[in-house]
Amino acid sequence: MLVAVGALIVARRSASGQCLWFEDFPRDFLRSEHQTRLLATVLEGRPRDTHTGLPNWLASRGPRGQLLAVEEADGPGSNSLGPDSVAVIMRWGGVDDLCQPIRASDSLGIGMRHLFTATLRADSLWVDGRPTFDVYDGPFADYSASATATSPPPLSEYRQFLGVLPSREEWAADCRPAVQRVQRWLEAHPQASRSHPFNAVQTSLGPACRGSLGSHAMRLERWKPTKPIPEALRGVFREQGCRDDPNVWADLTDAVDGSFIESDAAQWVFICVGAQDWRLLVVALESPPRIIELARMMGQEWDWYAGSAPVEYFAWTSSPDFDSGRWGVPRPTRGVVLLKFISGDRDQLLAFFETPGGWVHVGVRCCNWTE
């Protein structure tokens, strides 16, 4: 099984056995229909988990779980858990270098009442024949609901908070509305927002959303040349003096199609390399072809790519929540022309788009760009 490390990092086993980390998908902060919520009291008894895949002589010394007297259950397996049911939880604290789960070293106090967020095991892996749940380390793994607990907010308030967290589907579509919903709840409950796990959400969910916006935008980018390109476009190349060069990252066949200007004709963006400079061109194969120069650079530094993106691109990159800055640019009505410089530290990216007042460009992922 795979578990989350820290508040925002999701681990997955790769083919090489190494962990892959995704900071823009905070699994620990998302509601999931695959998780069960258990309101339960910790009982005396530490059953041993023999379903470890280890040899029998090691499995008999495997990790121990804890017994729970279940009061309420909601989620997978809840139908088999009524009042007075007894279940087993196995608590996990992280992953090792091979992405294998590590048992949590501590244990919960007997008689303490908690609300757990847990994952039900297949019945073939139950411990001592009882419903068995894995509880992974995270801000919502367990919440103290004991009557003697004075620091946490009431259980009813905590349940309400769980209801406003983003679902996986919301996060995948657009994380911003859900993050704003969580923020409104926290602002309406200032006392709760100062305690754990509410404060962890307040400080971490926003940065995770910004990372998600960036990843979504990059998935919209198209850099692969359109193949094949029409002979008419090759004719434009020749007329413009574009030439092949072994040092050019984008040669005469590297053109990416899109919808950049007001025209029903086929349209392409490409880098035209001349003898002393290069130009970023948009070509609409009208009769005669319409040629628009967007950028011109002198010299022989050819670490550039030309690409395109659909109109939705700026729904992400011009957002105040986007990682690179608050561009506040007007929304385009057609596609976007992209220009990327491959640098050692971080790719620099300019986006060009047409507005009623002419062409506009902004830095989308760009550091120390000189106009």
Look at residue 333 in the predicted model and tell me its pLDDT.
Answer: 86
Residue 224 domain-assigned (yes or no): no
CA distance 242 to 221: 25
> 131 and 30 share a domain?
yes
Higher pLDDT, 345 or 37: 37
| CA distances in angstroms from 47 to 18, 59, 61, 106, 126, listed in the order given | 31, 12, 11, 15, 11
Domain count, the chain: 2
Residue 370 domain-assigned (yes or no): no
Look at residue 185 in the predicted model and tell me its pLDDT.
Answer: 93
What domain range includes position 309? 231-365
Confidence check: pLDDT of 19 > 60: no
Residue 225 domain-assigned (yes or no): no
> 39 and 164 share a domain?
yes
CA distance 355 to 333: 8
Q: How many CB atoms lie within 10 A of CB 129?
A: 9
> 96 and 33 share a domain?
yes
As a whole-number percent, the residues of the chain with pLDDT over 70 amount to 76
> 94 and 196 share a domain?
yes
Higher pLDDT, 21 or 94: 94
> 115 and 237 share a domain?
no
Look at residue 183 in the predicted model and tell me its pLDDT.
Answer: 92
Look at residue 98 in the predicted model and tell me its pLDDT.
Answer: 65
Contact 130/86 with Cβ under 8 angstroms?
yes
Of the candidate ranges 48-57, 99-108, 338-347, the one whose mean pLDDT is the lowest: 48-57
**Mean pLDDT of the region 268-285:** 89
Residue 220 domain-assigned (yes or no): no
Confidence check: pLDDT of 332 > 70: yes
Residue 215 domain-assigned (yes or no): no
Confidence check: pLDDT of 281 > 90: yes
Look at residue 292 in the predicted model and tell me its pLDDT.
Answer: 95
pTM of the model: 0.70
Confidence check: pLDDT of 258 > 70: yes
pLDDT tens-place string over residues 45-97: 899 888 766 555 555 566 889 999 999 888 888 887 876 799 999 998 766 66
**Mean pLDDT of the region 282-287:** 95
Look at residue 325 in the predicted model and tell me its pLDDT.
Answer: 47
Domain boundary, last residue among 177, 209, 241 = 209
> 152 and 289 share a domain?
no
Q: Is 306 helix (H, G, I), strand (E, B) or coil?
A: strand
Of the candidate ranges 109-113, 213-217, 261-265, the one whose mean pLDDT is the lowest: 213-217
As a whole-number percent, the residues of the chain with pLDDT over 90 amount to 26
Of the candidate ranges 161-165, 227-231, 274-278, the one whose mean pLDDT is the lowest: 274-278
> 138 and 245 share a domain?
no
Look at residue 254 in the predicted model and tell me its pLDDT.
Answer: 81
Look at residue 4 in the predicted model and tell me its pLDDT.
Answer: 31
Specify the amino acid at residue 316.
Answer: W
What is the DSSP code string of 176-238? HHHHHHHHHHHHH-HHHHTSTTHHHHHHHHHHHHHHHHHHHHHHH-B-SPPSSPPHHHHHHHH
pLDDT tens-place string over residues 174-232: 888 999 999 999 999 988 888 888 888 888 888 888 888 888 888 999 999 998 888 89
Residue 42 domain-assigned (yes or no): yes
> 141 and 271 share a domain?
no
Look at residue 356 in the predicted model and tell me its pLDDT.
Answer: 83
Residue 317 domain-assigned (yes or no): yes
Look at residue 80 in the predicted model and tell me its pLDDT.
Answer: 77
> 8 and 86 share a domain?
yes
> 54 and 123 share a domain?
yes
5: β partners: 9
Domain boundary, last residue among 160, 175, 209 = 209
Domain boundary, last residue among 151, 179, 209 = 209
**Mean pLDDT of the region 340-362:** 82
Look at residue 142 in the predicted model and tell me its pLDDT.
Answer: 85
| CA distances in angstroms from 173 to 21, 166, 167, 208, listed in the order given | 20, 11, 10, 14
Residue 56 domain-assigned (yes or no): yes
- What is the average pLDDT score of the chain? 79
> 284 and 353 share a domain?
yes
CA distance 73 to 80: 9
Confidence check: pLDDT of 148 > 60: no
What is the DSSP code string of 1-19? ---EETTTEEEEE-TTS-E
Confidence check: pLDDT of 266 > 90: yes
Look at residue 12 in the predicted model and tell me its pLDDT.
Answer: 39
Confidence check: pLDDT of 300 > 50: yes
What is the band of 28 on the pLDDT scale with cuts at 50, 70, 90? confident
Q: Token pair of 301, please? A: 């530094």
> 168 and 239 share a domain?
no
**Mean pLDDT of the region 330-339:** 87
Look at residue 280 in the predicted model and tell me its pLDDT.
Answer: 92
Look at residue 146 in the predicted model and tell me its pLDDT.
Answer: 74
